[in-house]
């Protein structure tokens, strides 16, 4: 079976022609895939019945098998998918009061980075996803939103895995999100734990995609305890790459900071962070820790989080405390894993 979502426009055209169809049929099918949100070949009503039958016999609309879906009290949806080659991933759709609908998608089965407070990191690494497997997670949400007369407005590569550890497929997926699905570059965010060579490479891509850096500590000792990757790319090297990225791209960087009570949420730590990122065009996204079974830390409470914001403001570093979503279904940042059910 040929997965149509794995084909470029030219490849789709060649496949359709191999079925004895004229070139314009591939354009019709493309429109059904990425503009009209078809969920079946039978639903492609302007195609001849014989072509629909041929597609049913020889092609597939994606390769992800939906195993389970959970819905949070706040409207967040979390999905567990089985991959055709084995393994499972999770993807999340987050609705916001201002009308935004954001898909958080995965780039790997598991993760090799080993961040101590992250459920995906606690899994270990199994394999990279292909570009089509990454994109399909967003396509699934987009076509279902379209059926509700809504649209997918934002995509974040912040699900399972380290996108820059799967650089080529992640970049191919980003380009497809923009070109095929029509998501604007500034509505796409890619998050990394700080793989310095890939940050430098990304700066040369010429994209307006948002870059987020998982920071979480302002000293090498503290960061290495939470993010083992810091032993390979310490803070001085990471900050230099961030400064170069900002200079080359002209883009602001988001620094992600999981607020862990008694670990990295005191005023002295906020002061160190403010001095560390001073001079960079940056925004700090503060995320009270989301619970996972493999980490005993607790989330910072609101008064301490607000004091952290105030200290950063003295350094001219804007910061906001993120609204936690989907926590009751383990759909928050750092909570995704291969939660096979049944």
| Known catalytic residue at 115 | no
β partners of residue 214: 256
β partners of residue 125: 110
Residue 155 to residue 130: CA distance in whole angstroms = 17
Contact 324, 258 (CB under 8 A): no
Q: Which residue out of 111, 115, 242, 333 is catalytically annotated?
A: 333
Query: Looking at the chain, which runs of residues are DSSP E strands?
Result: 2-3, 59-60, 65-71, 77-82, 88-95, 101-104, 108-110, 125-128, 154-157, 188-192, 210-214, 253-259, 282-288, 319-321
Residue 248 to residue 290: CA distance in whole angstroms = 34
Strand order in the sheet with 282-288: 65-71, 77-82, 88-95, 101-104, 154-157, 188-192, 210-214, 253-259, 282-288, 319-321
Which position has the token pair 């084995």? 86
Contact 252, 204 (CB under 8 A): no
| Known catalytic residue at 104 | no
Contact 23, 10 (CB under 8 A): no
Residue 239 to residue 108: CA distance in whole angstroms = 26
Of the candidates 331, 337, 290, the residue with the CA atom closest to the CA atom of residue 75: 331
Residue 121 to residue 109: CA distance in whole angstroms = 10
How does 15-49 read in b/e, with b if 16+ C-beta sit within 10 Å? bbeeeebeeebbebbbebbbeebbeebeebeebee
Q: Which residue out of 69, 90, 118, 296 is catalytically annotated?
A: 90
Catalytic residue numbers, as ranges: 90, 333
């Amino acid at each position: 079976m040929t997965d149509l979502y794995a084909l470029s426009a030219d490849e789709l055209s060649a496949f359709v022609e191999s079925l004895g169809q004229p070139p314009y049929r591939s354009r019709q099918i493309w429109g059904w895939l990425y503009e009209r949100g078809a969920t079946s070949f039978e639903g492609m009503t302007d195609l001849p019945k014989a072509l629909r039958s041929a597609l049913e016999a020889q092609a597939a609309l994606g390769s992800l098998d939906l195993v389970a879906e959970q819905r949070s009290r706040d409207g967040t949806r979390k999905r567990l998918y089985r991959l055709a080659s084995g393994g499972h991933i999770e993807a999340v759709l987050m609705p916001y009061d201002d009308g935004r609908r954001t898909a958080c998608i995965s780039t790997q089965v598991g993760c090799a980075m080993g961040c101590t407070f992250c459920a995906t990191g606690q899994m270990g690494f199994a394999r990279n996803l292909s570009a089509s497997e990454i994109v399909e997670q967003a396509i699934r949400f987009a076509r279902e939103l379209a059926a509700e007369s809504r649209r997918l407005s934002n995509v974040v590569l912040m699900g399972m895995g380290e996108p820059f550890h799967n650089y080529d497929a992640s970049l191919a997926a980003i380009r497809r999100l923009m070109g095929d699905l029509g998501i604007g570059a500034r509505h796409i965010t890619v998050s990394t734990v700080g793989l310095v060579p890939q940050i430098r490479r990304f700066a040369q891509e010429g994209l307006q995609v948002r870059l987020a850096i998982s920071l979480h500590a302002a000293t090498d000792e503290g960061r290495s305890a939470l993010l083992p990757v810091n032993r390979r790319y310490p803070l001085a090297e990471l900050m230099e790459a961030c400064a170069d990225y900002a200079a080359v791209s002209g883009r602001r960087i988001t620094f992600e900071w999981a607020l862990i009570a008694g670990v990295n949420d005191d005023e002295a730590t906020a002061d160190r962070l403010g001095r560390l990122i001073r001079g960079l065009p940056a925004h700090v996204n503060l995320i009270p820790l989301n619970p996972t079974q493999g980490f005993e830390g607790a989330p910072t409470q609101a008064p301490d989080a607000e004091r952290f914001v105030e200290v950063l403001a003295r350094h001219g570093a804007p910061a906001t405390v993120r609204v936690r979503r989907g926590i009751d279904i383990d759909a928050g940042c750092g909570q995704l894993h291969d939660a096979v059910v049944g």
